[in-house]
């Protein structure tokens, strides 16, 4: 899976977001062993120290843990992953409603657009 990084934000923050997204999407399932720092850094085309910083931050959040002889593992706490998934979904929905409000649409009008899109009435 390709890593898309831009210059607008710190690289390590983007790495955190990408790994978090892969965990939430199930690419890295609960309890899975993560690739090594070097492998992830190579895949993302970043310095291993930058990847190490991102993984350390994910460890602080509890999403990833280090097992001394086995490497880094994704948490087995499915509730934590689900809570994070829901939190990110709410953030995206909030951003979407804010953007639609900037376009001049009320929440009700936005909800109508969503309903039409769900029914396949608009593309």
Q: Tens digits of per-residue pLDDT, 27-68?
A: 999 999 999 999 999 999 999 999 999 999 999 999 999 988
Give the model's pLDDT for residue 68. Answer: 84
Backbone angles phi and psi of 32, in degrees to 5: -70, 150
Output the pTM of the full model: 0.81
Is residue 1 over pLDDT 80? no
Q: Which residue has the tokens 């210059």?
A: 7
**Which residues fall within 8 angstroms of residue 43, CB to CB, at 6 or more apart?**
3, 35
Backbone angles phi and psi of 75, in degrees to 5: -55, 150
């Amino acid at each position: 899976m390709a890593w898309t990084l831009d210059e607008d934000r710190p690289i390590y923050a983007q790495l955190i977001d990408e790994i978090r997204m892969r965990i939430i999407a199930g690419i890295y399932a609960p309890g899975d062993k993560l690739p090594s720092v070097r492998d992830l850094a190579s895949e993302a085309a970043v310095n291993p120290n930058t990847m190490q910083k991102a993984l350390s931050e994910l460890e602080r959040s509890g999403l990833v843990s280090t097992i001394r002889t086995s490497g880094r593992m994704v948490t087995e706490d499915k509730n934590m992953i689900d809570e994070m998934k829901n939190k990110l979904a709410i953030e995206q929905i909030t951003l979407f409603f804010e953007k639609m409000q900037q376009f001049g649409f009320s929440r009700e009008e936005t909800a109508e657009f969503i309903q039409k899109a769900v029914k396949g009435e608009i593309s």
